[in-house]
């Protein structure tokens, strides 16, 4: 698969999908998959416009604790007010035949409860990352969806994004030779009062929120699972923000092939999300790698230079993952990033915290 600048432009203009991966081709003769959006915060504000750009998905219900906000969005997306639910009466969604799936866009600690309730209501589940606040919750989510015979996908949007996929393709093709080392990072200076600073809601600090991008990227770039993990964590700014969660985490991973990875995440400073891969024949870098748009791939190997900005604009990544999940539902296929993928990251996060001396 070779993506030119024109290909990237097409992907952005067409909402991605059909031009990029065969499994994303829409089935025009099939009913669109209806989604209930659970939680109407910032991430839902990206996902809902993304759904609008799909060929096989639509918003058909909203779940919120703020009725006035839900009604405004319902009018914007053509959702009947009778399909607005509160968290207390969410289970009534089982009766709504216009809802095939839910999108869980809640704080991390609430993912398990609403995934399990949705599964019991007979609805497929697309859940934001991190999958949950604990390994036990992630395992319970998988078990509930299997028991209800519904699909569970974790919203790892980078798995459906051309810049990241091109990087994976070049590595798999051997363009860089034998990969030796990877560096990755992602962080930002968090504002006081964010729910992400509440351990009960978030589960942990920046590792759960943005560090997980680096963790997951090292896994899909190598195609391996880490065999050894070592980590450190710290709090530098004693300004009240980090009374419950860590400020910084740095960790290293060694993979079975011998590849070593070094990763950093923070809530204390601007830190561009990127990865850099070093191979025996050259290097590859995506910077930024994990943003909603503005991604750029640079590579140098065997006399070849690649510099590919991706001009596609937000919310194209959300369009791609919704298109993929709806396609899987329509055709009885397993999603590319199922619950088991999220569970693996949860287990590695637990190992990182254990190595850093943090109890979770």
What is the pLDDT averaged over residues 58-69?
98
Residue 31 vs residue 11, higher pLDDT:
31
- The second-level CATH assignment, the architecture, of 15-157 is 3-Layer(aba) Sandwich (3.40)
Q: Using the predicted structure, report yes or no on whether residue 25 has a pLDDT greater than 90.
A: no
Spell out the residues 6+ positions from residue 2 whose beta carbon is closer than 8 angstroms to its own.
none
DSSP state for residue 307 in the 8-state scheme:
E
Higher-pLDDT residue of 6 and 243 is 243
Whether 114 sits among the annotated catalytic residues: the reply is no
* Choice among 213, 267, 316, 348 that is catalytic: 213
- Inform me whether the pLDDT recorded for 8 exceeds 70: no
From CA 123, how far away is CA 313, in angstroms rounded? 30
Q: Do 187 and 263 form a contact (C-beta atoms < 8 A)?
A: no
In whole angstroms, give the CA distance from residue 242 to residue 238. 7
Tally of residues, the chain: 360
Please provide the DSSP assignment of 12-39 as one string: HHTTSGGGT-GGG---TTSPPEEEEEE-
Nearest residue to 173 via CA among 7, 10, 304: 304
Question: What is the share, in percent, of the chain residues with pLDDT greater than 90?
Answer: 91
Average pLDDT of the residues in 106-119: 98
Find all residues with CB under 8 Å of 360, minimum gap 6, and list them: 134, 203, 204, 349, 350, 353
Strand 268-279 and strand 179-189: pairing?
antiparallel
Asked whether the predicted pLDDT for residue 2 surpasses 90, the reply is no
Residues 326-339: what's their mean pLDDT? Answer: 98
User: Is residue 213 annotated as a catalytic residue, yes or no?
Assistant: yes
158-313+339-356 and 15-157 share a CATH fold: no
- Tens digit of each residue's pLDDT (9 = 90 or more) over 228-285: 999 999 999 999 999 999 999 999 999 999 999 999 999 999 999 999 999 999 999 9
Q: Where are the domains of the chain?
A: 15-157, 158-313+339-356
Active-site residue identified among 123, 129, 166, 308? 129
Q: What's the average model confidence in pLDDT over 19-38?
A: 68
- Among 15-24, 115-124, 174-183, 186-195, the least confident range: 15-24
d(CA 151, CA 124): 5
- List pLDDT tens digits, range 48-62: 999 999 999 999 999
Angle, helix 162-172 to helix 5-13, in steps of 10 degrees: 140
Integer Cα distance of 119 and 149 in angstroms = 8
List pLDDT tens digits, range 162-215: 999 999 999 999 999 999 999 999 999 999 999 999 999 999 999 999 999 999
pLDDT score recorded for residue 28: 53
pTM of the model: 0.92
The residues, any chain, with a CB within 8 Å of residue 107's CB and separated by 6 or more, are 195, 201, 202
Tell me the CATH class for 158-313+339-356: alpha beta
For the stretch 127-153, pLDDT in tens is: 999 999 999 999 999 999 999 999 999
Q: Would you place residue 107 in the very low, low, confident or very high pLDDT band (cuts 50, 70, 90)?
A: very high
Decide: 70 and 40 in contact? Cβ < 8 Å: yes
**C-beta separation of 94 from 122 below 8 A:** yes
């Amino acid at each position: 698969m070779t993506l030119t600048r024109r290909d990237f432009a097409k992907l952005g203009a067409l909402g991605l999908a059909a031009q990029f991966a065969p499994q994303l081709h829409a089935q025009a003769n099939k009913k669109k998959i209806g989604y209930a959006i659970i939680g109407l915060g910032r991430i839902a504000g990206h996902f809902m416009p993304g759904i609008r750009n799909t060929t096989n998905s639509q918003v058909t219900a909203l779940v919120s604790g703020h009725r006035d906000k839900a009604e405004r969005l319902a009018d914007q997306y053509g959702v009947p007010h009778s399909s607005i639910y509160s968290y207390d009466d969410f289970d009534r969604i089982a009766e709504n035949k216009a809802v095939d799936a839910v999108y869980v866009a809640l704080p991390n600690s609430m993912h398990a409860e609403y995934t399990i309730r949705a599964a019991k209501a007979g609805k497929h589940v697309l859940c934001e990352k991190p999958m949950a606040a604990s390994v036990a919750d992630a395992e319970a989510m998988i078990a509930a969806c299997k028991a209800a015979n519904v699909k569970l996908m974790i919203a790892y949007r980078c798995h459906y994004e051309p810049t990241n996929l091109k990087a994976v393709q070049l590595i798999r093709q051997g363009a860089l030779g034998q990969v030796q080392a990877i560096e990755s990072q992602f962080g930002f200076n968090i504002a006081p009062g964010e729910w992400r600073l509440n351990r009960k809601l978030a589960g942990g600090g920046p590792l759960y929120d943005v560090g997980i991008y680096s963790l997951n990227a090292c896994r899909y770039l190598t195609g391996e699972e880490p065999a050894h993990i070592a980590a450190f964590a710290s709090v530098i700014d004693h300004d009240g923000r980090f009374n419950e969660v860590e400020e910084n985490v740095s960790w290293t991973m060694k993979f079975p092939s011998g590849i070593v990875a070094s990763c950093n995440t923070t809530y204390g400073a601007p830190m561009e999300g990127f990865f850099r891969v070093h191979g025996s024949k050259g290097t590859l870098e995506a910077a930024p790698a994990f943003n909603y748009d503005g991604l750029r791939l640079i590579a140098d190997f065997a006399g070849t230079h690649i510099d590919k900005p991706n001009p596609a604009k937000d919310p194209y990544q959300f369009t791609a993952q919704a298109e993929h999940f709806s396609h899987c539902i329509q055709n009885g296929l397993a999603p590319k990033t199922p619950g088991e993928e999220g569970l693996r990251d949860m287990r590695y996060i637990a190992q990182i915290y254990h190595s850093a001396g943090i109890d979770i």
